[in-house]
Amino acid sequence: MNSNEIEIHKELKKYFGFSQFKGLQEQVITSILDRKNTFVIMPTGGGKSLCYQLPALIQEGTAIVVSPLIALMKNQVDAIRSLSSENGIAHVLNSSLTKTEIAQVKKDITSGLTKLLYVAPESLTKEEYVAFLQSVPISFVAIDEAHCISEWGHDFRPEYRNLRNIIKQLGKVPIIGLTATATPKVQEDILKNLDMSDANTFKASFNRPNLYYEVRTKTKNIESDIIRFIKQHKGKSGIIYCLSRKKVESIAEVLQVNGISAVPYHAGLDAKTRAKHQDMFLMEDVDVVVATIAFGMGIDKPDVRFVIHHDIPKSLESYYQETGRAGRDGGEGHCLAYYSYKDVEKLEKFMSGKPVAEQEIGFALLQEVVAYAETSMSRRKFLLHYFGEEFDSETGEGADMDDNVRNPKHKVEAKEEVVKLLEVVRDTKHIYKSKEIVFTLIGRINAVIKAHKTDTQPYFGSGSGHDEKYWMALLRQVLVTGLLSKDIETYGVIKITQEGLDFIKKPVSFMMSEDHEYSEADDEAIVT
């Protein structure tokens, strides 16, 4: 069946009751109906599910949907069933089913009734299921949360790595990868691991113009600061993220004592309590949920008005996902993060027990969070740059929606310094990460610099007129403009780009702003 032959607008109305497609949905659906491998990168709430549900409903055969979360699969299946008079239209296949239930699922698939079959990646590896799926017509395989395939994503799941081999056993079926998290590196990993470099790729903008981004210094007074903030948002819904369960409990208690209706949520609570607290939040029996990252996946509360990060997250992907739960209805969404460098050190210490490769990735991702927190440039521009998207901080949508833009720091001309910085990166020949670049500029020796004899070079100490902090800030700002690039494969080696080389030849004005000063921290250990 060809996409041209189907009136997909009519089908949209018929099944979902919507009269228009959202964003890139129509293009994505056309690509799927044309049986092309398709890669969809859309922020949460972008309408990804419909992209595969509609083609599944109108095509021959059964579409397999791989998803890591059983609870989410169940929700989706219920939603699809409500669109039809046939329960068999969608099924979940997992280890909790009885023999009789499995027989029913197989019967519905064989008879052509089932259009969507949700499976967890580990179920798909079962030989018995694979053998069965080989014997029935499959329309396509959709892989939801496709970033789980990448170690650079925020939720790496090794079982995702087997998917490509299993799908190959099913014959020539198109693959649809979907994710809400795609830095260029994760994107590349997904295409490589699913062996679909030929895929039609659709990437929606990650800009959330209604969200306001703010970072505050974390001090001893953080609790009273949070209470004050919540009282200014009286009666509104909000989420507070903490890294440890202990902190979740203590903050929830402090809020309750201060007359704020709040409940805790973390994986240490039993399932019943978790479900109850989640429902209380969704039903607006409480205003605030204090949670670890265990809370939020698949929670579709449109009017969350603020998301507070009591502790900085481990990566900007997590930060974006978590803050993204605010303002889904397009209304106000205040994203407030507390930052102190001590928290970063705690996280680093916490990671030090992990395997080396994982540690390196963890450190590199964390460095980006540090840079985001400390930057004095447009936070939106910084975030979007991280996701491979250019943003005009003067005219872009939501350009004035962050603390740095509203209260700009004093800017100074740094044309000559940029040239010095670029020259050091060029002349040290792409071997150094930010730290050694900055050390070379200020003339500080460490073992790495000694080993490369950089301290004997004429440019060693060429930037000693400024301190380490200045150069670090400048380096970050130059990175965002694209004169330098950071190589993620090598965990952060800095390279000069063609634009950077051009800048050295013909420098132009470069206004930099100095980074924020941060100090203080709380003193609690992380126990996740």
22, 157, 444, 516: which one binds ligand ADP (CB under 6 A): 22
CA–CA distance, 514 with 518 (Å, rounded to integer): 12
Check: CB of residue 310 under 8 Å from CB of residue 222: yes
CA distances from 342 to 270, 346, 353, 381, 518 (A): 32, 6, 18, 26, 10
Which is nearer to ligand ADP, 72 or 227 (by Cβ)?
A: 72
DSSP H/E element including 468: helix 468-481
Does residue 47 touch ligand ADP according to CB under 6 A?
yes
Which is nearer to ligand ADP, 22 or 342 (by Cβ)?
A: 22
Strands (E), 277-400: 288-291, 304-309, 333-339
Q: Identify residue 294 by its one-letter amino acid code.
A: A
Both tokens assigned to 21: 């497609």
Q: How far is the CB of 48 from ligand ADP (least distance, A)?
A: 3
- Burial class from Cβ neighbours inside 10 Å (0-12, 13-18, 19+) for residue 294 reads middle
The residue range among 44-52, 134-142, 256-264, 506-514 that interacts with ligand ADP, by the rule CB under 6 A, is 44-52
Check: CB of residue 402 under 8 Å from CB of residue 390: no
Q: Identify residue 502 by its one-letter amino acid code.
A: D
Does residue 42 touch ligand ADP according to CB under 6 A?
yes
3-class DSSP state for residue 461? coil
Does residue 182 touch ligand ADP according to CB under 6 A?
no
Closest CA to 369 of 410, 323, 409: 323
Does residue 38 touch ligand ADP according to CB under 6 A?
no
21, 52, 202, 503: which one binds ligand ADP (CB under 6 A): 21
- Which letter, b or e, does each residue of 468-503 get, where b requires 16 or more Cβ atoms within 10 Å of its Cβ? eebbbbbbbbbbbbebbebebeebbbbbbbeebeeb
Location of structure tokens 């720091």: 409
32, 50, 190, 243: which one binds ligand ADP (CB under 6 A): 50
30, 37, 38, 44: which one binds ligand ADP (CB under 6 A): 44
Q: How far is the CB of 379 from ligand ADP (least distance, A)?
A: 23
Q: How far is the CB of 178 from ligand ADP (least distance, A)?
A: 8
The residue count for binding ligand ADP (CB under 6 A) is 13
Which is nearer to ligand ADP, 46 or 68 (by Cβ)?
A: 46
Which is nearer to ligand ADP, 72 or 442 (by Cβ)?
A: 72
Which is nearer to ligand ADP, 23 or 209 (by Cβ)?
A: 23
- Burial class from Cβ neighbours inside 10 Å (0-12, 13-18, 19+) for residue 245 reads buried
Which is nearer to ligand ADP, 324 or 500 (by Cβ)?
A: 324
Site string for ligand ADP, 425-444 (x = CB under 6 A): --------------------
28, 39, 48, 421: which one binds ligand ADP (CB under 6 A): 48
Angle at CA of residue 119, ends 117 and 121, nearest 5°:
150
Q: How far is the CB of 332 from ligand ADP (least distance, A)?
A: 19
Does residue 282 touch ligand ADP according to CB under 6 A?
no
Closest CA to 181 of 155, 220, 209: 155
Which is nearer to ligand ADP, 150 or 179 (by Cβ)?
A: 179
Which is nearer to ligand ADP, 65 or 119 (by Cβ)?
A: 65
Which is nearer to ligand ADP, 298 or 408 (by Cβ)?
A: 298
24, 28, 46, 207: which one binds ligand ADP (CB under 6 A): 46
End-to-end CA distance of the chain: 50
Does residue 15 touch ligand ADP according to CB under 6 A?
no
Location of structure tokens 């390279």: 495
Q: How far is the CB of 328 from ligand ADP (least distance, A)?
A: 8
Does residue 167 touch ligand ADP according to CB under 6 A?
no
CA–CA distance, 512 with 184 (Å, rounded to integer): 26
DSSP H/E element including 502: helix 498-505
Helices (H), 443-519: 447-451, 468-481, 498-505
Q: How far is the CB of 107 from ligand ADP (least distance, A)?
A: 29
Does residue 373 touch ligand ADP according to CB under 6 A?
no
Does residue 155 touch ligand ADP according to CB under 6 A?
no
CA distances from 404 to 140, 379, 413 (A): 46, 7, 18
Which residues here bind ligand ADP, judged by CB under 6 A? Answer: 18, 20-22, 25, 42, 44-50
